A and B are shown apart, each in its own frame.
Chain A
Amino acid sequence: MRVRELVIIGGGPAGLSAAVEAKKLGVEDVLIIDRESEPGGILKQCIHTGFGLHVFKEELTGPEYAERFIAEAQERGIEIMLDTMVIELTDDRRILAVNSRDGLVELKARAVILAMGCRERTRGAINIPGFRPSGIFTAGTAQYFINIEGYMPGKEVVILGSGDVGLIMARHLTLEGAKVKCVAEIMPYSNGLTRNIVQCLQDFNIPLLLNHTVVNIHGKKRVEGVTIAEVDLNRKPRMETARYVSCDTLLLSVGLIPENELSRMAKVQIDEVTGGPVVDQSMQTTIEGIFACGNVLHVHDVVDLVTIEARVAARGAADFLKQKKKRIRPATVPVIPGEGLRYVLPQRIDLDGALEETQNFFMRSVKPMDRGRLLIQSDRGVVMSKILKFIRPSEMISIKVKREILQQSNCLKISLCEGSENGD
């Protein structure tokens, strides 16, 4: 069994960013394993702009962002094993992968970075009643057909879900000649950026139906139409408002799920709220030497933050590889989400590990707020407080906390309380 220093599972933006950073930090042997025939991950099919504003101070398309990292990876001599699927990962970092060239690839890694990304929530998982004809696609799969294969999934489309993926697809399909009849959104607000509401829906007069969902799918062989209905305050359909919309395609943009099958196999502890591993400030999971970054850790909105997070994981892995002695169980400070927040990352701080002067925490609110007070409490009381504006669940919040605060705490709770304009 070949031993490799650092193996990165996934060659999308997370894996590529981590690999480049690890090389920069002196890790000699870096291997990326990716199941597709080209690296770049999901960026290959994200042909729209909006990428790179933080990292490159330019507005790039997905393929351009990917190509920057791929070029740098090539320059730095990072090995990328393509068309290879990792099928097993153990808690002692043994990897079993398979491809047509080499057959089974058995490796032992001294450190692993998980960067497998996420999958899409399906029709089956949200129990939309009706038939099971062809013409039902998740947004990402439809995007793949259009941008990677050059085929149209449909001609008359209804989209369920107004997050950015759904909105981007609304524009995309329209520009390719399809007719998008409407975008239905179960919540009373859209999760997408205002820019996308304007440039993907308003520009093309595509109606956005808030508080609506799809309650039936018609057509035995191919979608013939859907029934949509308004929902009540509990998000339950009010069937008296049901109406039929004819279409030949239903596009679902109803959520992304971090793909952690390999992580579970390696006995990595998973946070059931984020769907990804529990990590400390260096992105190390609960299994020594296994790190995680990108969508596999938690679903991101902006790829620039993926790169930033991946760089942290790379540093964590590089530091881990430099260690000569084995550590005893590290002292950890648990970080838990309080009122108003769905989750906080990292979920624990390893006081024995490297601590930057300020530590980044990432979190998401449970609902939109025009104004809110972010409170950080330790066992000693409130240690930090900050006002935030225009909070959206779909826009990840990032907070910097001083090292001293972490060092003086036994546990931390971060909450977000809705505040009025004139005081809290």
Chain B
Amino acid sequence: MTDVVIIGGGVVGCMIARELSRFDLSVVLLEKEEDVASGTSKANSAVIHAGYDAKPGTLKAQLNIRGNALFDKICDELDVPFKRIGSLVVAVKEDDVKELEKLLEQGKANGVSPLKIISKEELFELEPNINSKACAALYAPTAGIINPFELTVALAENAAQNGVTIRFNSPVVDVKACDDGMMMVKTPHETFHSPFVINAAGLFADEISQMAGAEAYTITPRKGEYLIFDKRCSDMINMVIFPTPTKFSKGILVCPTIDGNFFIGPNSNDIEDKHDTGVTSEGIDEIIRGARRLVPGLPLENVITSFAGLRAVSNTNDFIIEASRKVKGFINVGGIQSPGLSSAPAIAEMVIEILQEEGLTLKEKNNFNSRRNRIYPFRELNDEERKKLIRHNPAYGHVICRCETVTEGEIVDAIRRPVGARSLDGIKRRTRAGLGRCQGGFCSPRVIKILSRELGISPLKVTKCGQGSEILKGRTKDFIDSDGDFNES
């Protein structure tokens, strides 16, 4: 008997799963793609916002503040790197300073502390490469950066460790209330019956809600495009740098990543197609123009890649986190746009409260293991640690990804651990192999070999991100028909 079905394996779904795994419950998480964090959770600014940006009184504001405060504990327990590097909202002209003051007021009303406006001189001391026209900035020391994919994987691993069942390649094709008061949730492979269903389906949360006969709302995908720079340029900036915000979005940032790169982006354009994560040339131009207003000296010849993510914007423009009044046991967690990542721990807290209010009995497990260890990052270890590690397991002496110094030991661990990698992208996001400046040119054949060996599949079946994305099309000369003509297709 299933107690709770969670639809959606993004950071919100996995955070809820992990929280629920503290209790004596049977929990199933259904993810439509082949891995967690396959949607918005893998393609965002990776910033844990301080919380001055959201309007007071909104769920966004409330949960951002609460969520931000919970990050140190969660990241410590899950062994996920997290750094409070601080953020700056920069005024590049005198008029913008009024906006900074508004944000300061708003931040104080939301409970952000510390928070202050700093002078031009202080700004240049913190960030020497900022636009010389900058005149002031709003400084929020509590803002931080994280790897959102690593966080989501860590949550999923810990949840699985503690008994949550995670199903991949399982899109929900039907969900409805049954006569017995339970909900029926159907995927192409299985059917679940459960008194509670949590709709954390991201871009598709509106469709799931409609499918269940619950409250109607719409999710509009709002695209944000990004450019990432080589680690070599990491000393361009030190903190998260925002422009003065517009009504639409926080603006185009210049921002370090926790792994030592920095990025520019995102722009903000509403689109129709929820599957359209293509990067556009207009978008690239837009983010370069925007970012140059903050940091004029961008080293564009050191761009290593670009990507795009889609924000799930609800028609209310706020988070929709509530128990459905139409369908008993159906809980909507939709419209999680920015500051969704920052709010995730608080969203999970709130969902647990809602579940309790709706009648779910929460009995704490006595064997809940709150700790999870990350994969040994060879590149971060000192020489003594490295020697010890290789002695213990020689696979850690075999470097596979030279750009990011990732060893075979780490890649094998990434495959073998709970919620392990099953594709090239899965390896990339868990170990960083393929994320460096050569973008997998050197390591991908070697990673494919390891995946093939570990998963016991032919290299022809190894995919980039699940079925349909196989890397190799055949063996050499397979397409040559020995009797007929050469390939004429």
A residues whose Cβ falls under 8 Å from a Cβ of B: 35, 83, 85, 87, 96, 98-104, 106, 119-120, 122-125, 127, 129-135, 138, 140-141, 144-146, 148-156, 176-179, 215-217, 220-222, 237, 248-249, 264
Contacts and interface: CB of A to CB of B under 8 A. Distances in A.
Contacts of A179: 487-489
Nearest to A149: B445
Contact of B439 (A122, A177, A237): A122
Nearest to A148: B445
Given A153-B471, A176-B477, A177-B478, 20 more contacts: A85-B399, A87-B405, A98-B386, A103-B387, A104-B397, A122-B437, A124-B305, A125-B439, A127-B227, A129-B280, A135-B471, A141-B444, A150-B476, A151-B459, A151-B476, A177-B477, A177-B479, A179-B488, A221-B467, A222-B470
Contacts of B281: 127, 129, 215, 237
Interface of B: 227-228, 232, 275, 277-281, 283-284, 303-307, 383, 386-387, 390-391, 394-399, 402, 405, 407, 424, 437-442, 444-445, 449, 459-460, 463-480, 486-489
Contacts of A129: 278-281, 283-284
Given A104-B387, A129-B278, A129-B284, A124 B476 contact: no
Contacts of B228: 124
A98 B397 contact: yes
B398 A122 contact: no
10 contacts: A85-B399, A101-B397, A106-B383, A124-B306, A127-B281, A140-B441, A145-B472, A176-B476, A221-B464, A248-B473
In the A-B complex, the 10 residue pairs with the smallest Cβ-Cβ separation, listed nearest first, are A124-B305, A177-B479, A134-B464, A221-B468, A100-B397, A221-B469, A100-B394, A85-B399, A103-B390, A177-B480
Given A122-B305, A176-B476, A155 B489 contact: yes
Nearest to A239: B281
A217 B306 CA distance: 13
Nearest to B439: A122
Nearest to B460: A151
A379 B9 CA distance: 69
B475 A151 contact: yes
B438 A119 contact: yes
Contact of A119 (B280, B283, B391, B441): B441
Contact of A120 (B441, B459, B480): B441
Given A151-B475, A177-B478, A178-B487, A132 B307 contact: yes
B211 to A, nearest CB: 23
Nearest to B405: A87
Contacts of B305: 122-125
Nearest to A133: B469
A159 to B, nearest CB: 16
A327 to B, nearest CB: 31
Nearest to B300: A127
Contacts of B397: 98-104
A156 B479 CA distance: 11
Contacts of A120: 438, 441
A98 B390 contact: yes
B327 to A, nearest CB: 32
A261 B273 CA distance: 41
Contact of A35 (B402, B440, B470, B479): B402
A141 B441 contact: yes
A106 B466 CA distance: 41
B395 A100 contact: yes
B304 A125 contact: yes
B474 A155 contact: yes
B394 A101 contact: yes
B306 to A, nearest CB: 6
A152 B476 contact: yes
A84 to B, nearest CB: 9
Contacts of B473: 152-155, 248-249
Contacts of A106: 383
B284 A127 contact: yes
B444 A221 contact: no
Nearest to B458: A151
Contacts of B445: 141, 144-145, 148-149
A122 B478 contact: no
Contacts of A177: 477-480, 486-487
Contacts of B424: 134
Nearest to B301: A125
Nearest to B423: A134
A134 B284 contact: no
A127 B303 contact: yes
Contacts of B441: 119-120, 122, 138, 140-141
B298 to A, nearest CB: 13
Contacts of A156: 489
A124 B459 contact: no
A87 B464 contact: no
Contacts of B390: 98, 100, 103-104
Contacts of B398: 83, 99-100
Question: Most chain-B Cβ atoms within 10 A of its Cβ — which of A96, A127, A150?
Answer: A127
Contact of A152 (B303, B386, B474, B489): B474
Contacts of A153: 471-473
A134 B473 CA distance: 11
A355 B227 CA distance: 47
A222 B470 CA distance: 7
Given A145-B445, A155-B489, A130 B439 contact: no
A141 B448 CA distance: 12
Contacts of A132: 277, 307
A134 B394 contact: no
Contacts of B277: 131-132, 220
Contact of B472 (A133, A152, A178, A217): A152
Contacts of A145: 445, 472
A140 B386 CA distance: 31
A140 B402 CA distance: 16
B477 A124 contact: no
Given A150-B475, A222-B470, A133 B303 contact: no
A134 B478 contact: no
A242 to B, nearest CB: 11
A213 to B, nearest CB: 11
Contacts of A100: 390, 394-398
- A96, A140, A145, A248, most chain B CB atoms within 10 A: A145
A103 B437 contact: no
With most chain B CB atoms within 10 A of its CB, the pick from A106, A141, A153 is: A141
Contacts of A85: 399, 402, 405
